[in-house]
Each structure stands twice: as C-alpha cells, then as structure tokens.
Amino acid sequence: MTEQASFDTWTIIFLLAAVHGFVIAGLLFFHKRGNIHANNILALIMLLFAVSMVYYVLYWTGYAYVYTWTNNWIDPIPFLYGPLLYYYLVTLNEHKQEFKLKWHLLPFVLHCLFKIPFIIRELFNKPQWLREYFFKPLMPYLDQINLAFIIGQCVSLGVYAVIMYQLVRSNKKAITTFAIPEEITTYKWLRNTWIFFVIFSIGTISYWVLVFAGWLKIEYDYAISVIMTAFIYLVGYYGFRQPSLFSDRIVMQETDVQAQITSTPIFTLTTSESTYKKYKNSSLKAETALALKKRLLERMQTEKWYCDNTLKIQDIAVKLEVSTHHLSQVINELCGQTWSDFITEFRIEAAKQLLTNPDYGDKILAIAFDCGFNNKATFNAAFKKMTGMSPSSYRKQASTKATG
C-alpha cells in the first residue's frame, strides 16, 4: 500500500456508494411513517455501511496515512452488523418475539473500550502517560488480542446468520396459499436480507481466513466493500420497487372501503385517535387490510364461527392464517369495534334471525346457546344494549309486524 494519496475507478465507485448510503439512511431516518422503529434500525445499518465505506476509501487511497485520527474508529463496527440486522428482522416481522438488544451489543462495547486508548493516542499525539501505563505493558500481547477480536467478529457473523435463518424459516411457515400480499412481500424481504447477510458473512470470514493463511494481502478487502455496495443499492431498489416495505399504511377513507368491500351496514370505518396511535407503526397496508376485512366478514357469515362460545381472536387469526396483530387492527380500524363488540354483533344479528323462526318458539335460552352466548343473562344484556329491547320484546314486535 503506497502512502501517496490518490483515487482510482474502484475507490470512486465505492465513495459514490457511501454517499448513496448516507442519503438512504437520511431518508429512512426522516421518513416518519410506516414501521418507524424498523426503518430507524435499517437507517443505522446503512449509516454504518456508509461510514465503513468512507474509511475503506481513505485507506485504499492513502488518506488514512495523512489523517491518522481516522484509524481505529471502525474496527468494532462489524460486531454491530449481526445484532442490528437480526433486530431489524425481528422488528419487521409481525410474529414478534422478545429481543434484548443490549446484551447483543456487549462484544461491540468491549471492543470500543479496548480501542479508546488508540483513538486518544491519535488525537492527542501519543501522551506519555498512555504510552507508559497502557501500550508498554500491552505491546507483547497486542497481536493476540487483535486476533481474538477478529475471530470474535467472524463467530458473531456466523451465529447471527444461523439465528436469522431460524427467524426467516418460522416466517415462511406462516406463509400459505391464503397469505395476503403484504405478508408475502415482507417474507421475501426478510429472506433477501438474510441471503445478503450470509453472503457478507461468508465473504468476510473467507477474507480473514485467506489473510491469516498468507494467501491474501490484508489490503485486498475489496470484496467486503462490493457486498456492502450491493446491499446499499438493494435497499434503494426495494425502496422504489416495493415502497410498502418502508412507507406508511395508506390512510383509508370510508369511500375507498365501500367501493371495494360489500359488507353488512353495521360495520363502518371508525378510527379513533387512540386506535391510530396504537397502529401508527404497523406495516399493514390499505389494500391488504381491505382484502383481510372482506375475507373475515365473508367467512364469519358463511362458516358461522361466532356460534362457538369459546371463540377467541387468536382462533380466527389461525383460521384466516394471518397474525393476531393484523386481524385486531382490521377489526379496530375498519370495523370500528373492539373484538368483543365485533363478535357480539354477529351473535345478535344471528339471534334476530332465530327469534323470528317459528321452530324455536319460546326457547330463548336455546337461541342464546346456538348463537354463541354462555348464558341467558349475558344474551339478554347484550341484546338489549344493541337493540334497545329484550329478546322477548323483539320477537313479539317481529311477530306483530309479520301478522299485521
């Protein structure tokens, strides 16, 4: 590596990729819509790639020897790639699972603590006290310590590649013939991100193996930057081709719903401020929500799931093969109801039909049980709350109208 600072075609390409990385990171940070938390994590990953690319360019062009204070800053960054990408996939995935990021950042923090004296040395021109109390006793073991950190980074990449695969595989199992388009798009993005990380991990590990085997010079790490460049443009490509991955749910107007869905008049679009706040970071898109609502109402009416008095929203989610979170969002936002009100309204509508059925006669309790209520008292209270009269009064009124 020559110390004469100069650019060539490759370094210019990588510098442009770094600039694009900064731009995309900025767009993701300031795009306060959609899954904001996931977008912020992805923006941080893009920022780390861009910063690393800038340093690599400085190193290859010789400017790192001119501006020595730039050295040592990026060495711990590879410890972040695995945890942050995995955290991003967990956040993007609707099938949430507990993830405590702070413990995954421990290797990065330890490496940073080790590098602080080196950074101080470059910034403050090798202070005597630092040389005497840190570098002098450390020098005999410095190569072994650096090797340990490099091995740790390689192990980290391999481990996270495996656990990301487990996450992607579990997401794939949730994708069925009846999966909604948004779920398929999310799965493909999860899979592609994992594939990128596997390629990046293999490239990085192979590079260090070849370097320590003496088959490759340490400065020939262009392959790592090529993969980083590919990911930066991959995010940009998907940002344009699949904007739903990063953008907000489309705000649905009532006219849009009525134009696309035929449902009973009792279900209306009512999105309160509290409901909006609850789901403002959801990745569920308008067309997906509309399609899910249509499927929900159609199958509730045709298969009469509401007749099961033990029915829970999780049971419906399993039947529709969607996440409980998305189903709850559709019921809250598009139907304007809680789960309890939603299922009760179906049961009351069914009870109205049976109350006018001569086969049931005075069997109010039988009607309550057949419509999914656990007891007569609950049925009477729910019926009166919704219709303003008792089941007996409703039946008499309906009978009078029929004979009149």
135 and 78 within one domain: yes
pLDDT given for residue 259 in this prediction: 41
Question: Which residue, 372, 368, 361, 370, is CA-closest to 396?
Answer: 361
175 and 262 within one domain: no
> Is 4 within the bounds of a domain?
no
Let me know whether 38 and 186 are in one domain: yes
pLDDT at position 158 is 94
- Residues 223 and 355 placed together within one structural domain of the fold: no
- Helices 222-241 and 181-212, axial angle in degrees (round to 10): 170
Query: Are 103 and 215 part of one and the same domain?
Result: yes
Answer whether residue 41 is part of any domain. yes
Domain presence at residue 2: no
User: Residue 48 domain-assigned?
Assistant: yes
Contact at 8 Å (CB) between 179 and 321? yes
Enclosing domain of residue 173: 9-245
Dihedral sign, CA of 194, 198, 204, 205? positive
Q: Are residues 280 and 186 in the same domain?
A: no
Structural domain includes residue 34: yes
Instruction: Please indicate, yes or no, whether residues 241 and 347 belong to a single structural domain of this protein.
Output: no
The size of the chain, in residues, is 404
Task: State whether 309 and 328 are in the same domain.
Answer: yes
| Final residue before a domain boundary, out of 245, 277, 299 | 245
Residue 64 and residue 70 in contact, taking contact as beta carbons nearer than 8 Å:
yes
Total domain count, the chain: 2
Residue where a domain stops, chosen among 217, 245, 273: 245
Is 156 a domain residue? yes
Query: Can you give the pLDDT at residue 404?
Result: 58
Which pLDDT tens digits describe the chain residue by residue (404 residues)? 444 557 778 888 888 888 988 988 888 888 766 667 888 888 898 899 889 888 888 888 888 777 777 777 888 999 999 999 999 888 877 555 566 778 899 999 999 988 888 887 777 766 666 676 677 777 788 888 889 999 999 999 999 999 999 888 877 765 544 455 566 777 788 888 888 889 889 888 988 888 888 887 776 667 777 877 888 777 766 655 555 555 544 333 333 434 443 333 333 344 444 554 455 556 677 777 788 888 888 888 889 998 998 899 888 988 888 888 888 888 887 777 888 889 999 999 998 888 888 887 778 888 889 999 988 888 989 998 888 888 888 888 877 776 65
Claim to verify: residue 62 and residue 138 sit in the same structural domain: yes
Whether the model pTM is above 0.85: no
Determine the pLDDT at residue 185.
Answer: 72
- Residue 3 falls within a domain, yes or no? no
Domain endpoint, select from 193, 210, 245: 245
**199 with 260, same domain?**
no
Phi-psi category of residue 308: left, alpha or beta, with phi > 0 → left and psi -120 to 50 → alpha: beta
In a domain, 1, yes or no: no
Helix (H) or strand (E) holding 56: helix 36-61
- Check whether residue 287 and residue 185 sit in a common domain: no
- Please check whether residues 26 and 138 belong to one and the same domain: yes
How far is 77 from 357, CA to CA, in rounded Å? 72
Burial class of 108 by CB neighbour count within 10 A (0 to 12, 13 to 18, 19+): buried
For residue 352, what is the domain's CATH number?
Answer: 1.10.10.60
- State the Cα–Cα distance between residues 385 and 319, nearest whole angstrom: 29
